């Protein structure tokens, strides 16, 4: 019975120690503070995530008119495309640069592997939050971005705009010592 108790305590202690030393990754917003903490040159080393699901919608119409055999000929083409990028989708920085004022940064993040310029640009938006990196719109009112060779409308649910996240593991090691001092006794040999 004593063997089973000892085994149980060792097992419990092992679980506590493993839990204490295995840091859990938590998602945090990517911010200018993170850039300052790790340095500009290391921003491409992060695995980026999207804070919420977005849908990119393309709706273009092209038309041309000509005269053929004495008649007006109209030709039109409509292209509709919808791209869904789920929340927490994995993204990689394809381009990172300082903006004109020198204190802000622009990140071009790819969420799919394509040969064209299918990236979403992120920058700080002082109207929303001074630190978070939000989608940078070509037309803020209509929420239009350039994705690849076309312009898409960005749709998402709720009022919070999508922004970039990274994962952080935090390891804290704490040691403490307790000592009891007995004191010193005067020696009689003097």
Q: Which of 20, 28, 88, 25 is nearest to 53 (CA)?
A: 88
**Domain extents for the chain?**
25-54+84-169
Q: Would you place residue 65 in the very low, low, confident or very high pLDDT band (cuts 50, 70, 90)? A: very high
pLDDT at residue 129, as a whole number: 67
User: Which pTM does this prediction carry?
Assistant: 0.72
Give the span between the Cα atoms of 111 and 122, in whole angstroms. Answer: 13
Q: In the chain, which ranges are E strands?
A: 25-29, 48-50, 54-68, 71-85, 90-98, 105-110, 120-125, 129-135, 144-147, 150-155, 164-169
Tens digits of per-residue pLDDT, 124-178? 876 766 689 999 999 999 999 999 989 999 999 998 899 999 999 988 888 899 9
């Amino acid at each position: 019975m004593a063997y089973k108790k000892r085994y149980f305590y060792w097992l419990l202690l092992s679980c506590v120690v493993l839990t204490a030393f295995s840091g859990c990754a938590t998602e945090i917003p990517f911010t200018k503070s993170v850039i300052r903490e790790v340095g500009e040159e290391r921003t491409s080393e992060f695995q980026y995530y999207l804070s919420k699901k977005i849908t990119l919608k393309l709706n273009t119409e092209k038309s041309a008119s000509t005269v053929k055999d004495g008649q007006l000929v109209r030709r039109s083409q409509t292209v509709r495309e919808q791209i869904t990028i789920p929340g927490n989708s994995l993204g990689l920085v394809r381009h990172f640069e300082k903006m004109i004022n020198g204190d802000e940064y622009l990140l071009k993040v790819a969420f799919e592997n394509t040969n064209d310029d299918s990236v979403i640009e992120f920058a700080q938006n002082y109207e929303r939050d001074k630190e978070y990196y939000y989608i940078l719109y070509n037309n803020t009112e209509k929420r239009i971005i350039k994705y690849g060779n076309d312009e898409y409308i960005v749709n998402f649910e709720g009022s919070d705009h999508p922004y970039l996240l990274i994962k952080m593991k935090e390891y804290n090691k704490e040691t403490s010592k307790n000592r009891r001092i007995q004191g010193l006794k005067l020696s009689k040999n003097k």
